[in-house]
Amino acid sequence: MKTVVIGGNFAGLTAALELKRKGKKEQEVVVIDKSTAFLFIPSLIWVPFGRREIKDISFRKDELLRKKGVEFINAEAIKVVPAENLVVTSKGEVNYDQLVIATGPKVKYDVAPGIKEYAHYIGTPKGAMETRKALEKFKKDPGPVVIGATQNAGCMGAAYEFLFNVEKWLREQKIREKVDLYWITPETFLGHFGIDGITGGETMLKSFMKMFHIHYRTEVGVKEVFKDRVELTTGEILPSKFTMLMPPFVGVDFVTNSPALHATEAGYIPVTNGYRHVDHPNIWAAGIAVDVKLPFKPGKIPFSGPKTGYPSDETGKIVAENIIRLSRGNTKLKEKAWGKIPGICVMDAGKKEVIILSDTLFKPRKFAVMIPNVLYDFSKVLFEKYFMWKTKRGLSYLP
């Protein structure tokens, strides 16, 4: 059986390695990706401050995959034609028996005017490095700072992390007293995170905002960003000499170029709880490409749920297991809805951290806790070291 995996970061790399490990010679596995590098995205928040370089959090995944017996095609996937079991790429056509779509996100910068031109974004290596340059320039002529997430955004955690890291950096540069620091979010309350909050989370974050003297606005969107200010949907105008915003994620062009996938308006793929396409039984989705139904209603301003590394890794494993089962005649598939995956996250707070644990990502939950560690962010560092270690070695079966 030939399985083609589109995308090779958290979900895609895990799915490909698990397919080959479990399927051995039964499985011909091909990964198609326009990048040869695996990137540990959670650590990008440290790049603007020089705490990490891109080389510290990336490695050559094409070499790893080939060592493990997986073919790697360095090309851009353009579209899929399910009726022909065919993927069209920038380097030709590729046939498949099973297809795994793990394409990650596209950033919707045009959610409001001026974001692409005047706001920084830390979710890519290029964006993180440009943010580093902007901060070096900013410290010579400091002023007000606006950090946050726009309407429809889902990656609140990274924006919170950047906020607290900026606050710490301002103190280190001895310019904190010259900066009015603002946090803006579409969340209905601080610490919602797109998962309807964790017990004690709102209180904890309010105390952080008070302790660090950060002004905040909840249930706001961005109307427009200018070079020297941010206009909110409430009509309030916040002056800003440096702005960092997390825009929403949408599906990549490969998905929107493939109408037969019946993607949602946002470009995500409808799947069962086993991550199998609802209409095409030999197409699967993992990671950010999955359409996730939210169990809560946002308030005045729309926002979405998080699609982080842990559930991406888990869905990659589930998809691999299900393809192996089917290839061996077992029609009973493993199922675990996105919201039933455990919530495991370490939020950096500027060499401090908050450990977030819950038995399920979405409510109802039996267990949920936020544990502050004000001494050092060793859990975040340890997780980075562990994940990079296991991934470089292709140990995809480890948690």
The helix (run of H) or strand (run of E) holding residue 132 is: helix 125-138
- Report the topology of domain 2-107+249-340: FAD/NAD(P)-binding domain (3.50.50)
Q: What is the pLDDT of residue 321?
A: 98
Q: Would you list the domain boundaries of the chain?
A: 2-107+249-340, 109-247
* Residue 358: partners with Cβ closer than 8 Å, 6 or more residues away: 198, 342, 343, 365, 367, 368, 369
Whether domain 109-247 has CATH 3.30.420.40: no
CA-CA distances (angstroms) from residue 158 to 325, 328, 331?
Answer: 36, 41, 39
Residue 120 DSSP label? B
Fold match flag (2-107+249-340 vs 109-247)? yes
Residues of the chain scoring pLDDT < 50: none
Q: What is the pLDDT of residue 298?
A: 80
pTM tops 0.75, yes or no:
yes
Q: What is the pLDDT of residue 373?
A: 87
